[in-house]
Amino acid sequence: MRVLAAMSGGVDSAVAAARAVDAGHDVTGVHLALSAKPGTLRTGARGCCTVEDAHDARRVADILGIPFYVWDFAERFTEDVVDDFVAEYAAGRTPNPCLKCNERIKFAALLDKAVALGFDAVATGHYARLSLVDGRPELRRSADDGKDQSYVLASLREDQLRHAMFPLGGSVKSAVRAEATERGLAVADKPDSHDICFIPDGDTRGFLTKHLGERPGALVDAETGAVLGAHAGVHGFTVGQRHGLGLRVPAADGRPRYVLSLEPVSGNVRVGSAERLAVREIVGAAPTWPSGAAPADGVRCVAQVRAHGGTAPAVASTVDGQLMVRLDDELRGVAPGQAVVLYREDPDGDVVLGSATIVSTGS
């Protein structure tokens, strides 16, 4: 096949491209320029998509002997990922920018351009597995539980998955690094990026305040209604947050308080005990089904509400176009704006059934 390898400049995408070459595909490498003013150097594991990353990707392509290009997606990335990120926080929700980038950039803008240019598939360094069952794609967890990225890929449609390749899905990260060393790739020991790529200093609250300004409000005890402090904007908080609340009044029982809900119109941030974070029901909007078909209503599954962790057995149904999930066990810190991803309930439990954006929760 003609394969376009998305090369970020990291070790994962480098080895994914190398494996695509080894498999006999006609591979072309492409690095996505996602910032109009990319930094010149990374700082440890902070940030990505820098000038240095583009050079690293080009050096790998030279070693592999494949054509290499840099495509400017900065404007699209700003509109579809960065602006969306800011708007979601302003509305009191907590988005996942990696999920949005996969959905709108790597498997929409990039894939659309690749297909238009005659490529059969886009290969990435994601840790997830793909298989065809009865002619339909199944998205599955990777072999490396600690690196699994099926959660941030779960919003992809069937037609997008048909043009996707994840060469690392059956490998663990340590083996990928060892393979990069054996291949003589200089990125073998390059740190993973653990932060939001467009906030390289890691100061999410500062980034949002820069874009939204200060929007003063009150920190309110959810049980008594008492005002416990002030804040500069609901965009500085997320449901389940414990640290950095700036509370002036300690809890009567001496126990920590957590963010329970955000009210962007009034500016109130309601806080309370950890027990009040418990959730048994989740409502999700705009569900997607990677295999192309929604499961039967009342399907037994495992629900996951965070990229790593936050899972519980559940029953899921669709009602009036929304996903309704009833959890067997309580989960805490379930934030509107995040995704709820459903996995098949079986001995492996690794097949993605679908996903939706969380709009509300209940006990």
101: annotated active-site residue: yes
Q: How far apart are CA 6 and CA 96, in angstroms?
A: 20
Strands (DSSP E) along 206-333, which ranges?
217-221, 227-231, 258-263, 268-272, 279-288, 299-304, 311-319, 322-331
Q: Quick one: tokens of 279?
A: 């959730």
Q: Are the C-beta atoms of residues 298 and 254 closer than 8 Å to each other?
A: no
Q: End-to-end CA distance of the chain, in Å?
A: 50
Name the strand (E) or helix (H) holding 27. strand 26-33
Q: Which residue has the tokens 């990125």?
A: 187
**Could you give the C-alpha distances from 6 to 28, 273, 300, in angstroms and in order?**
9, 44, 36
The one catalytic residue in 48, 49, 101, 301 is 101
Q: How far apart are CA 45 and CA 199, in angstroms?
A: 12
Helix count and strand count (H, E) for the chain: 9, 17
197: annotated active-site residue: yes
Q: What are phi and psi of 313, to 5 degrees?
A: -60, 150
DSSP per-residue string spanning 261-278: EEETTTTEEEEE-GGGG-
| 3-class secondary-structure state, position 184 | coil
Residues annotated as part of the active site: 101, 197
